[in-house]
Amino acid sequence: MKKAYVIGTCDTKFSELAYVKELIEQAGVEAVLVDVGIFKHENPVDIPNHVVAACHPKNPGFLSGVEDRGFAVTAMSEALGVFLPARDDLGGVIGLGGSGGTALVTSAMRNLPIGIPKLMVSTVASGNVAPYVGPNDIAMVYSVTDIAGLNRISSRVLGNAAHAMAGMIRSTVPEVREDRPVVGMTMFGVTTPCVTQARSLLEKDFDCIVFHATGTGGQSMEKLVDSGMMKKIMDITLTEICDLHMGGVMSAGEDRIGAVIRAGIPYVASVGALDMVNFGAMDTVPEKYRHRNLYVHNSQVTLMRTTPDENRAMGEWIGERLNRCEGEVRFLIPTKGVSMIDAPGKPFYDPVADECLFEAIEKTVRQTGRRKVFRLPYHINDPEFAQALVDSFREIAG
């Protein structure tokens, strides 16, 4: 059985870290206490901070004479990011920390493969954890109290986290034997019928892995492309690009489609949910957008209809990205609507705005024998459009 790595700043949180290590070992899993603090202390640890620091690729001696705490913490995070993947006995990682410790440990966790247990007990876990988790399988546990001593609350929260880590390492996950090639797909609630239909048509021959286009969803898919684990993509839902351009809350960043460009893999895509920008509750919508066509999806999500000018800009951006793709590309345009609420009688129905998007894509893309754009007289959720996507995918992906 591999070991649980218990990580934190032992100069300030030793008692809590030692408590977690003790409970993990009582549960039958060997634990290793790793110190990532930057100051000297006399607390007994298994791997001292200078051993971790020595893994820094450029400045292994940064702990000597620490004057700038921020610099040292950043350097320790970089060193830990090299140290952890090199451990051949690592079965899982559990970290404890406030905002600084959380940033330090989770940054290194993100260097580990998906599937290795990663659990962070943090004082900031009840807020926006996207910067800490990113497109990775890191479980965040809110500490409730500050991680500053053991009391009736902290001991229970830390104990539950310790037992969870022990259970994840001790319990074997059944191996999934899969011979079908993997295809990544993107979906949003308003494109679900399309993606579900396409998946049902492909799943006999392909292992279809669907990603929710929430920003981190797109990042997760492309991270798997960069890792080589995913070599075929059906990118039906590009709504994250709306949020990138208009400041919504579900942007996947400027590198959207970047992994596809770098890998040169077969790529079938469409304009799913490019009619909407995502914000939080209505009172979080920026003032400059309050006069726009807004739709309350639920109490925590407000959607904003994109305008003709915004669609034109996005179409040009998408087209330029497609021009950089060297692999086979098929981009399909459903002329009767791009989402469930972009249809006659629905709140985001706007053929003029859609046409600006379609024209911009067609005018920008340099079509070749390997890079093609097609218009089809369907709504994105029509079964015929899903069939067309699958036909194009089979044509270029086998």
Domain with 120 in it: what CATH number?
A: 3.40.50.12020
**398 — pLDDT class (breaks 50, 70, 90):** confident
Q: Is residue 77 part of a domain?
A: yes
Q: Is residue 177 part of a domain?
A: no
Is there a single domain that holds both residue 99 and residue 235? no
In this model, does residue 181 exceed pLDDT 80?
A: yes
- Domain final residue pick, 170, 190, 206: 170
pLDDT score recorded for residue 23:
98
Q: What is the pLDDT of residues 324-367, one digit of tens each?
A: 999 999 999 999 999 999 999 999 999 999 999 999 999 999 99
pLDDT score recorded for residue 67:
67
C-alpha–C-alpha distance, residues 353 and 245, integer Å: 16
Is there a single domain that holds both residue 201 and residue 313? yes
Average pLDDT of the residues in 33-61: 94
Enter the tokens of residue 42: 């006399």
Q: Is residue 244 part of a domain?
A: yes
* Tally of structural domains, the chain: 2
In this model, does residue 141 exceed pLDDT 80?
A: yes
pLDDT score recorded for residue 198:
97
Is there a single domain that holds both residue 155 and residue 194? no
Is there a single domain that holds both residue 190 and residue 96? no
Q: Is residue 308 part of a domain?
A: yes
Strand partners, 47: 34
**40 — pLDDT class (breaks 50, 70, 90):** confident
Q: Is residue 123 part of a domain?
A: yes
Is there a single domain that holds both residue 291 and residue 366? yes
Task: State phi, psi for 388 to the nearest 5 degrees.
Answer: -65, -40
Number of residues that this document lists for the chain: 398
In this model, does residue 172 exceed pLDDT 90?
A: no
Q: Is residue 253 part of a domain?
A: yes
In this model, does residue 219 exceed pLDDT 90?
A: yes
Q: Is residue 10 part of a domain?
A: yes
Is there a single domain that holds both residue 154 and residue 223? no
- Domain final residue pick, 170, 205, 220: 170
Q: What is the pLDDT of residues 110-130, one digit of tens each?
A: 999 889 999 999 999 998 898
Ramachandran category for residue 233: left, alpha or beta (phi over 0 → left; psi -120 to 50 → alpha): beta
Is there a single domain that holds both residue 147 and residue 296? no
Enter the tokens of residue 267: 């790529």
Q: How many CA atoms lie within 13 A of 59 on its CB side?
A: 12
Is there a single domain that holds both residue 25 and residue 156? yes
Is there a single domain that holds both residue 250 and residue 386? yes
CATH of the domain at 215: 3.40.50.12030
- Domain final residue pick, 114, 144, 170: 170
Is there a single domain that holds both residue 239 and residue 273? yes
Is there a single domain that holds both residue 208 and residue 161? no
Question: Which residue segment(s) compose the domain that 156 sits in?
Answer: 3-170
Ramachandran category for residue 45: left, alpha or beta (phi over 0 → left; psi -120 to 50 → alpha): beta
Q: Model-level pTM?
A: 0.80
Is there a single domain that holds both residue 285 and residue 310? yes
Q: Is residue 67 part of a domain?
A: yes
